[in-house]
Chain A
Amino acid sequence: MRNIFLFIRRYRTLLTFLFLQGVALWFLFTYNRFHKAKGLGVANEITGWVNSKYSNVESFLTLKNENRRVHKMNDSLLNLLSRNFMQVDTSGRLVKDSVPFDTLGNYRRYYFRPASVVYNTVNSQKNYIQLNRGSNHGIKDNMAVISSDGSAVGVVVNVSPNFSQVMSLLHVQQKVNASLKKTGDFGTIDWDGKDPRRLTLRGIPKSIDIKMGDTVLTSTYSYNFPPGYMVGTIAEVVTDKSTNFYILKIKPGAGFYNLQQVFVVENLQYSEQIKLNLDTRKKLKIQKTTKSE
């Protein structure tokens, strides 16, 4: 017993080092899996406060550009209004949902909340954006984020009472559904972690005629992104003979370098869609087991 104490005393520094190193690595590896950091709730409030103070100063410098973008967005909104609504067949409806709807009988499907960016990076492989809105303002996980000129930016992954963290499109684990504007074919957007000026679109079959500069929009199949918003334009086609699909390099529509004002978009039917999806799987599994009996 005495020897153990002597051992601990002799190698005290080394043991402290190894213990703290272990704690650090535990933080690192558990975080990557769950996107939930240890102690992040408190830390998010503090870093958010510091970042918002700095952002107050910084936003003056790019005010002119931002103003122009907001004006452009307002302009285009006049034409886009109907896109936020979904037609409902009124003759077959029995029960009124609690979802708010307008006088024409159109149900609101997407709800936009403005927010401003307090922290944002582009030079890491896992870039996050911090917004000045949190659960107090109705932000929830998995909401889509769109820049002030209407281009896809990312998805909310973590929320504290007054701030929220957004996983940017420039994140190697991010995957977003997108489709070509011209033909409607859909694929998946991801990022290879190398160049923040290029995203990758996979899954477009080679039978389709593609030109440089074709527009890529958010797809109607996405659960969180509203359809028809800009993702980017085709900048480069990577030739790969081993597959029947294009690998397309996309120039993102959102300016990740100078994001300031964004919209957080809530799909009001998100939970219903996800629940339906899960229920279907459960139902099919039950049918399969009963059939085999």
Chain B
Amino acid sequence: MSDLLRNILRFAVFILIQVLLLNKIPHLHRFITPYIYFLFLLWLPFSVSRQWLLIIGFLTGLTLDYFTMTPGLHTAACLLIAYVRPFLISVLMPKDSSDFNYREPSPKAMLWTPYLVYVFVLTLLHHGYMVFLQWLSFGSFLDFIIKVIATTAISMLLIITVELLFPRKMKFRTNTS
């Protein structure tokens, strides 16, 4: 399957899971909304240029926004993580071997610890910025802090579960091929 087709399918699946499943969960607590759709952006191949990352981030956020009737909210957060992602990858990728032997970020390509740091930082940025924007129009400061922590924790839990349940099969690419 080509990279393009694979990612388009992923996009549709992530958005549908977010809209039809996670947004509709009878709520556990008023602070907790589970989010996972932005994992799509974290899984994009290394080879995507920074400009395209921004554009893809914008479209992903906007699509979700039109479903949740909050135009701009998720878009702004997605743009932020799409912008920060390349910097994080260049800091966290192991430099010793020949670079980028794998196609996209995964526990296998980056090793578990750097991968979890990568996911954690971007999740925190996404939720922090999004809840901050919500808080600007409504809410108290304590709510804001608790909400960021709670949603980040539940998202991390979901993402780790997804990584363990659906390990992506990835070929090791050598320079010769």
**Residues on A facing B (Cβ under 8 Å):** 12-13, 16-17, 20-21, 23-29, 31-32, 37-40, 43-44, 46-47, 50-51, 54, 119-126, 128, 165, 172, 193-196, 257
Q: Are A37 and B23 in contact (CB under 8 A)?
A: no
* Cα separation A128 to B19 with both chains bound (whole Å): 13
Q: Are A31 and B71 in contact (CB under 8 A)?
A: yes
Chain B's closest residue to A54 (CB) is B20
A-B contact pairs, 9 of them (CB 8 A): A13-B50, A20-B58, A27-B71, A37-B69, A124-B70, A125-B134, A193-B138, A194-B30, A196-B30
The winner among B33, B55, B76 for most chain A CB atoms within 10 A is B76
* Cα separation A43 to B19 with both chains bound (whole Å): 14
* Cα separation A115 to B33 with both chains bound (whole Å): 28
Instruction: For the complex formed, measure the closest distance between the CB of B38 and the CB atoms of chain A, giving whole angstroms.
Output: 14
Given the interface pairs A122-B26, A124-B33, the reply to whether A25 lies near B138 with Cβ below 8 Å is no
Given the interface pairs A13-B51, A124-B33, the reply to whether A28 lies near B71 with Cβ below 8 Å is yes
**Residues in B neighbouring A124, C-beta threshold 8 A:** 33, 68, 70
Q: Are A32 and B137 in contact (CB under 8 A)?
A: yes
**Residue from the list B51, B55, B67 in contact with A47, Cβ < 8 A:** B67
Interface size on B, residues (CB 8 A): 37
**Residue from the list A13, A26, A46, A196 in contact with B27, Cβ < 8 A:** A196
Q: Are B72 and A28 in contact (CB under 8 A)?
A: yes
Minimum-distance CB pairs A-B, first 5:
A28-B72, A27-B72, A43-B66, A123-B27, A24-B75
Q: Are B79 and A24 in contact (CB under 8 A)?
A: yes
Chain A's closest residue to B33 (CB) is A123
**Residues in A neighbouring B156, C-beta threshold 8 A:** none
Q: Are A13 and B54 in contact (CB under 8 A)?
A: yes
Chain B's closest residue to A196 (CB) is B27
* Cα separation A21 to B75 with both chains bound (whole Å): 8
**Residue from the list B19, B25, B51 in contact with A16, Cβ < 8 A:** B51
Q: Are A28 and B26 in contact (CB under 8 A)?
A: no
Q: Are B54 and A31 in contact (CB under 8 A)?
A: no
Chain B 73-94 interface mask (CB, 8 Å, partner A; 1/0)? 1011001100100000000000
For chains A and B in complex, what number of residue pairs have CB atoms within 8 angstroms? Answer: 98
* Cα separation A20 to B73 with both chains bound (whole Å): 12
**Residues in B neighbouring A172, C-beta threshold 8 A:** 138
Q: Are A26 and B72 in contact (CB under 8 A)?
A: yes
Q: Are A17 and B83 in contact (CB under 8 A)?
A: yes
Q: Are A125 and B138 in contact (CB under 8 A)?
A: yes
* Cα separation A43 to B61 with both chains bound (whole Å): 13
* Cα separation A48 to B170 with both chains bound (whole Å): 37
Q: Are A24 and B20 in contact (CB under 8 A)?
A: no
**Residue from the list A13, A37, A123 in contact with B71, Cβ < 8 A:** A37
Instruction: For the complex formed, measure the closest distance between the CB of A146 and the CB atoms of chain B, giving whole angstroms.
Output: 21
* Cα separation A119 to B68 with both chains bound (whole Å): 9
**Residues in A neighbouring B32, C-beta threshold 8 A:** 123
Chain A's closest residue to B78 (CB) is A24
**Residues in A neighbouring B72, C-beta threshold 8 A:** 24-29, 31
Instruction: For the complex formed, measure the closest distance between the CB of A128 and the CB atoms of chain B, giving whole angstroms.
Output: 5
**Residue from the list A24, A54, A195 in contact with B76, Cβ < 8 A:** A24
Q: Are A126 and B20 in contact (CB under 8 A)?
A: no
Q: Are B83 and A165 in contact (CB under 8 A)?
A: no
**Residues in A neighbouring B75, C-beta threshold 8 A:** 20, 23-24, 27-28
